[in-house]
Amino acid sequence: MAEDKKAAEPVAKVEPAVETKTATETKVKPRDKSSRLSLYEENEVNAQFDLGQQVTFTSEAVKEPAAAVITRKYTNSCLVDFAENEDLSRAIKDEYHSKMVVSYKRITIIK
18 DSSP assignment: P
Q: DSSP secondary structure string, 46-98?
A: GGG--TT-EEEE--SSS-S-EEEEEEEE-SSEEEEE-TT-SSS-HHHHHHHTT
Report the length, in residues, of the chain.
111
Starting at the earlier edge strand, list the strands of the sheet with 107-109: 99-103, 77-81, 66-73, 54-57, 107-109
Is the pTM of the predicted complex or chain greater than 0.75? no
6 with 33: CB under 8 angstroms? no
Show pLDDT as tens, one digit a residue, over the chain (111 residues).
555 555 566 666 666 655 555 555 545 445 455 545 677 888 999 999 999 999 999 998 888 899 999 999 999 999 999 999 999 999 999 999 999 999 999 999 998
